[in-house]
Amino acid sequence: MIQEITEYLNQYDLDVRKTGDARFMDQKCTPDVVCFIADCILNLNPQGEFTVQDIWDMQYFIKSASAIFGKPSPRNETARHEYDKFIQQPLRMLAYAHVLSIEKRGATNYYSIENLDILDFIATKERNAYNFLYAYIIKVLADSNMLRHFETFKEKCKNNTVTKQDYRELKDKYTRFIIGNTAINGMVEVYRIFTKIINVYAAENDIRGTEKGRLSNYNITFSDLMYNRKNWRDTDKPKAQTRQEAATAEDIRQQEEYDAYQVTKAMNLLRKIQTESEVKDQYANGDATQVHHIFPKSEFPAIAHYLENLVKLTATQHYTKAHPNNRTQIINHDYQLVCLLAKSQTIELSLRQVGEKYYRKESFIVVINTGLNADLNFSLTFPEIRTELRHLYNNVA
């Protein structure tokens, strides 16, 4: 799918010097927010135009935004300005990328979907939104003749010769470029946007980026890109205290709400993309109405939202085989292996057909390693994964 996105973006000239639009990226355009807003658009199911207000009024948005991102309720009028940016900035970015179209009439922007496939890809999971953002940022920087400066910075990072001065020079070049070619004239605003660009670039290239306006002391990772997530490097906690102990009740509540949203979203996605049972056995006749956690979410919450840990089953398969005698707290380990083998076939076929739109082999291996306390290597092929699975379950037996 990344190749398709790149080919689509290559149809357009995204040179900021020509558009004069600094809003090709913005402060709220993080992978999790962009993924969530794309998900809201698809749940809105617009047949034509839609506005920020249409998303604002969605029950899906109202319920999820506060729970996921720890914000006040969208019904709270004092939060109106913050939510406007929260919705508007990703929409503007997606419009600049021609995933959406935009038309301004009066004071209102009217949007419509221009590329449903890419929007669906972005909405599927945060990793997809991140992959899109990286391809998009590279395209904008290349068209704007700014990519070369980021590549110079990258090479110095790779060679372990990068200095704070190198970082400041890159930041200054970007700032002068934006102020010289767009209506933005305040450095603080440019700095905020610069952070969202350089850190996506840094995460993909496994190099240092920016933290608190300075060159980071560490290589930026995917998790560093998320909006409004607690950065545990900055947690003011006693050294003897674990992160779990340091978390407040509000932190825990928000994380639980976020986890629940991700699990529900993954289950709904599987229902959409998988119409038949994934396990082809004598119990597969009938409608595949059940989404089953191969490794129970109560025991393995860290992988509960992984699509690779969910399998579509018929009611008979679910309540007779996966959970013997309809005892949902019990897992049939023999059938667990059957589900894992079937899931591996589903994932392998999906990767051949649509790339990493829905699944990643690496994520499937994470599920296996977590659920079985194993240490499978990410380089394994699918036939090798299936061989390892049989070996692991035979050893348990």
What pLDDT sits at residue 232?
A: 32
pLDDT the model gives residue 233: 35
C-alpha to C-alpha distances, 58 to 53, 106, 107, 125, nearest whole angstrom: 9, 23, 21, 20
Compute the distance between CA of residue 372 and CA of residue 332 in angstroms, rounded to an integer: 14
Structure-token pair, residue 340: 């894992």
In a structure prediction context, what are the per-residue pLDDT tens digits for the chain, which is 397 residues long? Answer: 888 999 999 999 999 999 998 889 998 899 999 999 999 999 888 788 999 889 988 888 887 877 777 666 666 666 666 677 889 999 999 999 999 999 999 988 999 999 999 999 999 989 999 999 999 999 999 999 999 999 999 999 999 999 999 999 999 999 999 999 998 888 888 898 999 999 999 999 999 999 988 999 999 999 899 885 544 333 344 444 444 555 567 667 777 777 888 898 899 999 999 999 999 988 888 899 999 999 998 899 999 999 999 999 999 999 888 888 777 778 888 999 999 999 999 999 999 998 888 999 999 999 999 999 999 999 999 999 999 999 999 875 4
Q: Domain boundaries in the chain?
A: 2-145, 275-396
Cβ atoms of residues 190 and 173 within 8 Å:
no
What is the reported pLDDT for 240?
A: 45
pLDDT at position 346: 96
Which whole-number Å values give the CA distances from 270 to 7, 221, 278, 308, 313, in the listed order?
A: 28, 28, 11, 10, 11
Q: Residue written as tokens 């989404």?
A: 291
Identity of the amino acid at 329: Q
Q: Could you give the C-alpha distances from 101 to 17, 50, 91, 272, 293, in angstroms and in order?
A: 20, 10, 9, 26, 38
Q: Report the residue count for the chain.
A: 397
Residues 6+ apart with CB under 8 A from 16: 22, 24, 140, 143, 144, 177, 178, 181, 182
3-class DSSP assignment, residue 283: coil
* Cα Rg of the chain (Å, integer): 23
Confidence (pLDDT) at 338: 94
From residue 361, alpha-carbon distances to 120, 278, 279, 358, 380 in Å are: 20, 17, 19, 10, 9
Please state, in angstroms and rounded to a whole number, the distance separating the CA atoms of residues 338 and 344.
Answer: 10
What is the C-alpha separation between 96 and 103, in angstroms, rounded? 12
Mark out the alpha helices in 28-146 (DSSP H runs).
Answer: 31-44, 52-56, 59-69, 80-96, 116-124, 126-143
Which whole-number Å values give the CA distances from 377 to 74, 221, 366, 374, 390, in the listed order?
A: 44, 21, 9, 10, 16
Terminal Cα distance for the chain, rounded = 40
Distance from CA of residue 375 to its chain's centroid?
Answer: 25
At 231 the pLDDT is 41
Give the sign of the dihedral formed by CA 15, CA 19, CA 22, CA 24: negative
Q: How many CB atoms lie within 10 A of CB 61?
A: 22
